[in-house]
Chain A
C-alpha cells in the first residue's frame, strides 16, 4: 500500500512538472507582440543570432513542432537568451539562484523554528495571557505586507545594518581576509532573512498552536498526565512530536508562499537573486528571463514539496496505509 502511495505521489509530481512546463510554453505564446517570434525578438541581435534561435526553437514551424522543440531545448538546459544582456538565461539564473538560496534557507529555518516554538508554548498555556499575546501578535505580523515590513526594517536599521545588496563592494578591493568577507555577507543577510522569517513565524505559530491544541486533547495525553509525568515531558515528548506531523505537511504547502515572499524581500533589499531577476525582467519586459524564472521557481516548489512528502511518509507510518 505504501509503495502504491509512493508511486502515485511520484506520478503526480511528474504530472505537475509537465503541466508547469506546458503552461510555461502556452502562457508566453500569448505575450503581446509577434507571439511566434517572441523568443527570438532579442533587440539589436544580429541576423545570425536570430536565425540560430529560430532554428533552435523551431519558430517557423507549427505550434506542435515548437512545443517539442521547446521541450528538447529545455532538456538540454537551454532557456533562451535574455533581451537585457544577451546572455543565456540559464547562465544568468544559475548565479541568481546561488545568491538566493542561502538567504532564503536562513530566513525559512529561523521562521519555522521560532514559529513552532511559539505555537507549542501558546497551546500549552492555552487561554493565558501568553497565549493571547502569541495569537494576536502572530495575526498582526501575518497581516503585514512582506515588502512593507522590509521597508520598515530598513527605516529602523539604516545606518546600523546594511540594507541593500549582498556584499560591500569596497571590501573586495581592500583585501581584508576571509573572515571579514564572511562577516560582511552575514551582516547583509540579517535584514532580508529576518523579513522573510517574520511572515513565517506568524503562519507557523498559528498552525502549530491549533495542531497542538488538538493533540493535547488526545487520550494518550490524558494517560501521560494520569501517569503523573511532569508537564514538560508531556508537552515535548508526547504531544509536540505528534502535533508536528501536520505541520510538516504545511511546510510543503507553504513553500510556494515562501518563494513569493522571497521575491518581495529581494526587491526591497536589492538582493541579486532570483526574485530581483524576476522583478527586473518584469520592468524590462524581458520575456525569456521571466519565463525562465517562472519555470525554475515552479519546478523548485514542486520538487521541494515532493521531498517534504517523502519525508512525511518516513515520519508517519499511517500515511498511505
Chain B
C-alpha cells in the first residue's frame, strides 16, 4: 500500500527508477538471458530483425539484442563508477569549501570555476589519446572531470547547514569538526549526494558513448558507445541497416532519461535543486533558496 502511494505521488521518480532497474537487470543477467553469445557469429551478416534474431544482426553476424544486453554491462558500470568517483571528489570539495569557508572556500571554488570553463570533451580526448584507453582509464578520466556541479550544489547546501543554530551550538559546547560533519552535516546532504550520483551517471554514460564514438573506448569491451561507433564505421547507416544503430542509441537515451527523471525528483525533494541562479558562477546577488548571504 505504501509503495502504491509512493508511486502515485512521484510518478516521474518511479518511472525513472523502473527504467534504470530494467536496464540494470538486463545487463546483470545478460550471460543468462542473452539469446546468443556476443563473441561469435550466430546468423548471416546484417540480417534484419526476424523471429530468430529479434533485433537483427550486425555486420559480423552477431545478434544485436545480445550485444545490447552485454553492452549495457560496460556502459552502466562505467557510468556508475565514474559517477561515484565524481561525487566523492565533488562532495569532498563542496563539503570542505562550504564548511571551512574563508580561503579554503576561495581556493577550492577557483579550481572548480576553472574546471567549469574548460571544454571537457577535448580534454577527455587528449588525456585518453595520450594515456591509452582501458575501462579503468575511461572511468577515471570521466570521473575526474565531472565533479564541478556536485561541488557547487554541496557547497551551497553545507553553507546553509553550517549557519543553523544547532550546529553553532554543537560547536560552542566543543564538538570537533569531524563530529559536526559526521553527525550534523553528512546526514543532511546524503539525499543530495544520491541525487547527484544519479544525475552524474547520466552525464558519464553520455561521455562514455562520445569517447567510444571517437575511437577512444576500450577496444576489448562491447559497450553501447562502441556499438554506435561500429554502426557508423561499417557504413550500416548508408545502407539503411537501422536495426544496428537504433537499439544501442535507444538504450542509452532511455537510461539517461531515467537517471535524469529519478535524479531530478530526488533533488527536488531535498530542495537544493541546481537552480540557474546557483549555477551562475560569478557574483550573482539573486540568492538561491536556502543559501545564506555572505557577510
Residues of A participating in the B interface, judged by any CB pair closer than 8 Å: 5, 9, 12, 16, 19-20, 27-28, 30-32, 139-140, 142-149, 151-152, 154-155, 158, 207, 210-211, 214, 246-247, 249-250, 252-253, 255-257, 259-261, 263-264, 267-268, 278-279, 282-283, 285, 290-291, 293-294, 297-298, 301-302, 305, 309, 318-321
Contacts and interface: CB of A to CB of B under 8 A. Distances in A.
Given A143-B202, A144-B249, A155 B114 contact: no
B126 A27 contact: yes
A36 to B, nearest CB: 15
B257 A246 contact: no
Nearest to A139: B260
Interface string B254-266: 1111001100000
Contact of B119 (A145, A260, A291): A260
Given A147-B209, A210-B275, A253 B117 contact: yes
A154 B237 contact: yes
Given A28-B130, A207-B279, A249-B281, 11 more contacts: A16-B117, A32-B132, A144-B249, A145-B225, A148-B248, A148-B253, A152-B246, A255-B119, A267-B214, A279-B214, A297-B119
Contacts of B173: none
B150 to A, nearest CB: 15
Interface of B: 110, 113-114, 116-123, 125-127, 129-132, 202, 206, 209-210, 213-216, 225, 228, 231-232, 237-238, 240, 242, 245-246, 248-249, 252-257, 260-261, 273, 275-277, 279-286
A298 B237 contact: no
Contacts of B225: 145
B260 A214 contact: no
B270 to A, nearest CB: 15
A143 B254 contact: yes
A250 B228 CA distance: 30
Contact of A214 (B228, B254, B275): B275
B285 A318 contact: yes
A283 B125 CA distance: 11
A210 B126 contact: no
B252 A155 contact: no
Contacts of B116: 253
A207 B286 CA distance: 15
A207 B120 contact: no
A5 B114 contact: no
Contacts of B130: 27-28, 30-32
21 contacts: A31-B130, A140-B253, A142-B256, A143-B260, A145-B206, A148-B245, A148-B248, A152-B245, A210-B275, A214-B277, A246-B286, A256-B119, A260-B120, A260-B121, A263-B122, A263-B125, A267-B213, A285-B129, A297-B122, A301-B118, A318-B286
A246 to B, nearest CB: 4
A246 B202 contact: no
A154 B120 CA distance: 26
A123 B125 CA distance: 37
Given A140-B253, A264-B210, A151 B245 contact: yes
Nearest to A268: B232
Contacts of B238: 154, 158
B228 A148 contact: yes
B114 A16 contact: yes
Contacts of A28: 130
Contacts of B114: 16, 19
A298 B122 contact: yes
Contacts of A301: 117-119
A268 B286 CA distance: 41
A158 B245 CA distance: 15
B249 A27 contact: no
Nearest to A261: B121
A283 B128 CA distance: 12
A320 B283 contact: yes
A283 B285 CA distance: 47
Contacts of A140: 253, 257
Contacts of A267: 213-214
Contacts of A152: 245-246, 249
A30 B131 CA distance: 8
A261 B120 CA distance: 10
A149 B253 CA distance: 10
A294 B169 CA distance: 51
Nearest to B252: A145
Contacts of A214: 275-277
Given A155-B237, A158-B237, A290 B276 contact: no
Nearest to B130: A31
A9 B283 CA distance: 11
A30 B126 CA distance: 11
Contact of A257 (B120, B125, B277): B120
A310 to B, nearest CB: 11
A260 B120 CA distance: 7
Given A264-B210, A319-B283, A20 B237 contact: no
B11 to A, nearest CB: 11
B127 A27 contact: yes
B222 to A, nearest CB: 16
Contacts of B248: 148
Contacts of A318: 284-286
